[in-house]
Amino acid sequence: MIDRYIVATCPRCMTLLVADSRYKSKTCPKCNARIPINGLKVIKTARDSRAARMIVSEAKARRGGLDQR
């Protein structure tokens, strides 16, 4: 089974976001930029949305210095 969800960063504001690879574009929830899926800088991929959201949560915690490891 192929990974359906993409965890990427918005090229305009660097916000982490989850994009469904079935669609052609994604709108950033922070800056409202419309980005083509093939123009995103992919960090990781996931098979389902729950796994993708967990990847984003962990990455945000590391960025913010909240990582307990």
Asked if residue 69 is part of any domain, the answer here is: no
Asked if residue 34 is part of any domain, the answer here is: yes
* pLDDT per position as a tens digit, 7-51: 999 999 999 999 999 999 999 999 999 999 998 999 999 999 999
Note the pLDDT of residue 66.
Answer: 61
Note the pLDDT of residue 64.
Answer: 80
* Residue-range definition of the domain harbouring residue 27: 5-64
**Please, which pLDDT band fits residue 1 given cuts at 50, 70 and 90?**
low
Q: How many domains does the chain have?
A: 1
Report the pLDDT averaged over residues 54-65.
88
1-4's contacts with Cβ under 8 Å and 24+ in sequence apart are: 1/47, 3/45, 3/46, 3/47, 4/46, 4/47, 4/48
